[in-house]
Structure 1
Amino acid sequence: MINVIRDQPAPASLSSQKSYRNSEIIDVLNRVFNGKCYLTEKVFDSPNEMEVDHFATQTERPDLVYEWSNLYAIDQKANKKKPKTSPPGGYLDPCNQGDDVEQEIVYVVEFGGNALFKARDASNQKAVNTAKLLNHLHSDLKPAVKDKHHEIVNAIAEWYHSRKLGDQRDEFEKELLLKKLLSRNSHFTMLMRSIRAAQSLPADFFD
């Protein structure tokens, strides 16, 4: 999960059509959430992969079914696996500035593509619940996480090699690639930024 600045106004069709899933809403939500699932950070290959999640569930808050601030972009598989009721204490909200999901969760990715999450503060029930949910949702994403991890580790090694050789053009090309791979628009941003080798990169590599 990454922190999201929700600065897009509600689509007009949300109130006029009483629909929370039409092409206009899908398009705006796709932009708000960087073209990926707000929970797993899996990039949508097409809008058809995206579904609309109610952060406060329809069962628990039927009054928020058409509330723009309650609609989130989610991957189809994640939507099916996510529990239909919220646990006591709820979840961290990436659109809430008071919930810093990038700092309140510890992100770890192992070489086999195993993604692990843990609350930084065990007394923060929302963080504990969110880490548990992320561990559950990522169990099916190991191949994709493994491939992305391998790609980034190799790119980092190549950047350091170019830097050591003093090949400024190649070093710059590798820098641009790494910035793209680790950007907020890329797959599994926070997991990939947790790689130890990535943490040694200059701060300006991260948007």
Structure 2
Amino acid sequence: MIKVTRTAKPNVLVQNSLNWTEQYLLAKEVYTQSNTLANKKAIGKAEKRYNHTDVKSALKKMFNKKCAFCESRITHVDYGQIEHFKPKSKYPELCFEWNNFLLSCSICNGKANKGDKFPLENEDGPFIHPVDENPQDFFKFEYDDLTQTFLLFPANQRAETTIKILGLNREDLVENRTIELKKILFFLEDLIGENFDEQKFNAFEKMFSEKDQYFAFISALIQKIRSNI
């Protein structure tokens, strides 16, 4: 997870979010008074407007087509999901709120992980927010000698809750993350050998950017090696 800057609200939300919210909340109210199938369908019809192609495109650009939580690339294997940081099931008034949207992979956002969960402060939450907060203040992105894998380590209880519920150290993710990062580590170790060349090291560092998968780990790895040179 890395810090991401929120981009401008898409025009489709600027023009429609207030009306869409009113219609959505009204549909939910009508359903509470008469829980017919037709009224339930009306909620679904009003709700799905947030999944507009312009909104999805803006989020893909904002997050470099990576999951806001696990930093895995999404779009070459999955469509990606518009994730409501505060779940619309619990905060329906935020269903069309741009500042509540993230881009997520279907696993991080699935029922087995985040789903509609949103632990409050008395439940060791809320989750770390990659736009409103800097994940580097809450996590350590390190190679674990014991398991020989790259893992997130929490700096406080909120971070631990985020890792646990979102599955940021889940087996398949850790396996893929470690395979990729060990390749980078191999080249880094070669660069800092007896014939260390700072220019080559700097050039290697510049090869990476926020567009890369697991950039939080890459940055931490490079910074740690640089500090030990």
Q: Classify the TM-score, shorter chain.
A: 0.7 to 0.9
Which of 42, 57, 66 in structure 2 is aligned with 1:27? 57
CA–CA distance in structure 1, aligned partners of residues 165 and 220 of structure 2: 19
Residue 57 (structure 1) shift: 0.2
Which of 136, 145, 150 in structure 1 is aligned with 2:182? 150
Distance change in 2, residues 1:46/1:133 (3 Å): same
CA–CA distance in structure 2, aligned partners of residues 107 and 179 of structure 1: 19
CA contact (8 A) 2:163 2:169 kept: no
Which of 128, 146, 149 in structure 1 is aligned with 2:160? 128
Distance change in 2, residues 1:50/1:113 (3 Å): farther
CA contact (8 A) 1:4 1:95 kept: yes
CA–CA distance in structure 2, aligned partners of residues 176 and 134 of structure 1: 34
Using the TM superposition, name which of 142-151 and 8-17 deviates more: 8-17
1:180 has 2:207 as partner? yes
Distance change in 2, residues 1:135/1:191 (3 Å): farther
The corresponding residue for 1:12 is: 11
CA contact (8 A) 2:141 2:153 kept: yes
1:59 has 2:94 as partner? no
Which of 217, 224, 228 in structure 2 is aligned with 1:191? 217
CA–CA distance in structure 2, aligned partners of residues 136 and 187 of structure 1: 14
CA–CA distance in structure 2, aligned partners of residues 26 and 149 of structure 1: 29
SS of 2:162's partner is helix
Distance change in 2, residues 1:69/1:138 (3 Å): same
SS of 2:160's partner is helix
Distance change in 2, residues 1:46/1:23 (3 Å): farther
Equivalenced residue count is 189
1:60-92 deviation line (CA, Å, top 9, x unaligned)? 100000000011000122221324221232111
Distance change in 2, residues 1:57/1:43 (3 Å): same
Q: TM-score, normalised by structure 1?
A: 0.76
CA–CA distance in structure 1, aligned partners of residues 62 and 220 of structure 2: 23
Deviation >6 Å, runs of 4+: none
CA–CA distance in structure 2, aligned partners of residues 58 and 106 of structure 1: 30
Gaps of 5+ in 1: 203-207
Distance change in 2, residues 1:137/1:143 (3 Å): closer
Q: TM-score, normalised by structure 2?
A: 0.70
Gaps of 5+ in 2: 21-48
Aligned alpha-carbon RMSD (Å): 2.8
